Amino acid sequence: LAKTTQPISMDSYEGQEVNITCSHNNIATNDYITWYQQFPSQGPRFIIQGYKTKVTNEVASLFIPADRKSSTLSLPRVSLSDTAVYYCLVGDTGYSTLTFGKGTMLLVSP
Amino acid sequence: NAGVTQTPKFQVLKTGQSMTLQCAQDMNHEYMSWYRQDPGMGLRLIHYSVGAGITDQGEVPNGYNVSRSTTEDFPLRLLSAAPSQTSVYFCASTTNSGSPNEQFFGPGTRLTVL
């Protein structure tokens, strides 16, 4: 199983860009990289997924270098409502390969 | 669409009691799963199902049973509750295709075992 490592916590201010990096040194050829967001007392919510290079949607961007041993979730101009835990997952189609680590607690201050 | 629904929202049990956590989805998703989340921890997979009549164990299956008689429902049964099963339980569903698809999570059930 590909193990992921991400910072335990990060602090930011409203309006700033936030980049959360996830390390996954033993990522397999078939693995995708997926990020989820979780607010207190709620289930996780899908943010973005990618395999290589760059993926962008209306919420975030995901940067994946050529070696795919890490990835960076970029949140543009964060607001207070972006305060949440962000999880990086690496795996293929099987449920048994998807593991939620402890995630990164992002705190956005005014 | 209601998405993924879970009942009850909160439950208190005494050690040794049994109960069933209900999960239903109206998106016709093939895959459904149960996770538990303990304070300060990520989610750990308990059981999952890739379709009606098919279930499999996840990372922490002991003390829990599941069945999948319909596409829509995936109940989780605690046979004899223990304090170690105090946790927040999330049910999730997703479609079956060639990549790990977006999982849709329910609102969770907060269980306390005394």
Give me the amino acid identity at A33: I
User: pLDDT category, B8, cuts 50, 70, 90?
Assistant: very high
Q: Residues A17-58: pLDDT tens digits?
A: 999 999 999 898 988 899 999 998 899 999 999 999 999 999
Count of CA atoms in the C-beta half-sphere (13 A) of A13: 1
Half-sphere exposure of A1 (CA within 13 A, CB side): 13
Mean pLDDT of chain B: 92
pLDDT for res B84: 96
- pLDDT for A94 equals 62
pLDDT value for A2: 62
Query: Contact A46/B41, CB-based, under 8 Å?
Result: no
Q: pLDDT value at position A3? A: 82
Q: How far is B80 from chain A (nearest CA, A)?
A: 25
Percent of chain B's residues with pLDDT above 90: 78
Residues in A closer than 8 angstroms to B61, CB to CB, are none
Whether chain A has a CB inside 8 Å of the CB on B39: the answer is no
Rg of chain A on CA atoms, in Å: 13
Partner-chain contact B102 A98, CB within 8 Å: no
- The reported pLDDT for the residue numbered A104 is 96
HSE-CB at B34 with a 13 A cutoff on CA atoms is: 29
Give B36-73 pLDDT, tens digit per residue.
Answer: 999 878 889 999 998 999 999 988 999 999 999 999 99
For the residues A61-78, what does the mean pLDDT come to?
96
Residue percentage of chain A with pLDDT more than 70: 93
Lowest average pLDDT, out of B11-20, B78-87, B96-105, goes to B96-105
Find residue B47's DSSP bridge partners. B34, B57
- Nearest neighbour of A42 by CB, restricted to B56, B97, B107: B107
CB contact under 8 A, B103 and A46: yes
> Which pLDDT belongs to residue B19?
96
CA A50 to each of CA A65, A67, A70, B38: distance values in angstroms, whole numbers, following the listed order: 11, 14, 12, 28
